[in-house]
Structure 1
Amino acid sequence: MDFNLPEEYRAFRDGVRRWVDTEVPKSWARDLEKDEHHYPYALWDKFTQAGFHGVGIPEAFDGQGGDVLMQMLLARELARSLGGLAWIWGITSFAGSKSIGLYGSEAQKKKYLPLIATGQLKAAIAFTEPSGGTDLLGGMRTSAERVEGGWKLNGEKIWSSSAHVADYLLVIARTDRNVTKKHQGLTLFWVPAKTEGVTITPLAKLGMRSMGSCTVHFNDAFVADENVLGEPDKAWYMLLPTLNNERIMVGAFCLGVIDGVLEDALDYARQRNAFGRPIGSFQAIQHYIADVATMQVTTELMLHYCAWKQASGQPVGNEANMLKLIASENANKAADLGIQILGGMGYSAETDMQRYWRDSRLWRIGPITNEMVRNGLAESLGLPRSF
């Protein structure tokens, strides 16, 4: 069994790493993150110039090509410096290229994928309901009714990141109430964000500040038939493979955070002196750093395993959930240890540990809470359903 990356992937990873150090260093990311009311267009433009929006999109649609592992390598390297701001790339990659690329029609692919690949289209995900949270199906109140030429959309979504700057919203809504199971009767819509009847309001939050997260209200918003993705009423069946990809992507972002934490912790432990010697000589600090390094390797192994399984077409549902679980908890714990290692400077906005902690804290909640992950894993092992 060979755990080494093929040369093509190593070259890509190393090139991205150099790009990150040059173009989006941690000091620049800190400055971006300080202004929570200003979307970092400059960061989006840097991704465009580097061609990153095209990773995972076929060359036939002006993309760079590459499989899920290449996307995860990119996500990891970006998050090492950017933390949660790497989602600036990830949201459109998931909402646009993955969704359109997987279940869009040929006409939709030809229209939208080149715009995504070349950075001309920003997308946002509008799935979560205010009354639902993780219980997306049980809390689904957003609905769409057929009208001439399309649908009228009504309802509200919350925590739609970057919706305030998006060109399109990926929206799931109930289109059939006469169903026997909650996952039936749902349809996926590709909604132009400037549609009449769509109101987007930014929310204040703990981390990933300058990216912005929003509530989205739909009041008789018209969506044309050509903006339905896949078959009406069958959205949940289409989404399941995409949701696995989202969990793997979260794992990659979390691993990048762990990389950044370890890098900063080692630098500080070598340079900071207390009681007449570097703090890296203290056993407690060494143990913290050893723990972070162990989290890094275990998360990396699980990430590569999941990416390999998905790229080869194997079922990866449980493994993707396990990855999301351990990666998010490892990243948040690593960042917390990083703050402890840096002491008061770890709490300071002039260093990155507090940013890593705030950003990684979200991934223990979304896109699904770790408690619900554990519930699902236990049920998959034959235990009775607990929710």
Structure 2
Amino acid sequence: MPFALYMLALAIFAQGTSEFMLAGLGPDIAEDLNVSIPAAGWLTSAFAVGMVVGAPLMAAVAARWPRRRALLAFLIVFLLVHVVGALTTDFTVLLVTRVVAALANAGFLAVALAAATAMVAPDAKGRATGVLLGGTTLACVAGVPGGAALGELWGWRAAFWAVALVSVPAVVAILRSVPAAPPGAPSAGARRELRVLRRPRLLVALLLGALVNGATFCSFTYLVPLLTEVSGFGSAWVPALLALFGIGAFAGVSVGGRLADTRAVPVLAVGGPVLLAGWALFALGAGVPVAAAVLVCVQGALSFALGSALIARALYGAAGAPTMAGGFATAALNVGAAVGPWAGGAAIEAGLGFRSPLWVSALLVAAALAAAGAARAVRGAPAPRVPDASAPAG
């Protein structure tokens, strides 16, 4: 894999850390800026909305730019708004920086997916996707706990400075290592790329990616109360168990991306039912600490393996629309990341207990399998016969 690809992953690591770190910094931000804790939660919601809306929008904006210019523009904006966020004493300004950071993050990821797949051999798109998404999983393993530790030691602003500093070497590396555009492949433009995105197979892959990612974040969001209230782990075990989920996710995204290049159909055909069974088994066995610990890692690996394989297949299926495909893939993942936690929270609020998000995750994966089966049946159905108008009636 090219060196520049790992620098893109470093930038995505910084962006993933920024997206998730507020979960541990909200109370400190609320106290420092004199707002309520629910108001501080708007910072997370603003970022999520910016990612969903920004992914296709920023991809369309960047569709005619050279990729190096687009990556640099998005990453420098992302870096600068974190500097502003670290310096501001006004909550409204901080809220605006989160929206702008999300737009820049969404645009960067969309272009990075296109750039990464252009830098490798045509049959290595899955591995390239796995390297990029590995930056997100490493953010779960190291970035988020690291941001929380910095916030504990030096205040929440230190975490914002750290994200900005981690982005600096990626800016330099992109400037020196990423080609402006793939040789002989000028951008097709947003309108032409959008025509490619109408292909049913691609739309199905994006739908499945949203459902699988929704299942992942539905359970991940409520993993802490599940492990402490149902599995019986003490709070001291929580960081290790979250890291275990991240380690599984990193392994899954690496293996899933690699297998997507050569064995995508077996990965999806076998991985989907196994993932569904895993969520159901987790729900049934959550009260057994050893089983819960094992399944935290296993489900992290399966979820991200399947998710990375689906995104890789979407990129394979949209070779004529690399930038917009990356944008819509990013939007699909974030739709899932928004809907999944909402559905899990609704189940808890309905009095179904902390196991209920696991059952919701199982239902979302079941919906993905049903959608995949329906799409396969439609593709395999014989085309309707059209009567020959020139043939005599009767």
TM-score, length of structure 2 as denominator length: 0.33
Normalized per residue, the structure richer in strand is 1
Greater RCO structure (CA 8 Å; 6+ sep) = 2
Q: Structure 1 or 2: larger helix share?
A: 2
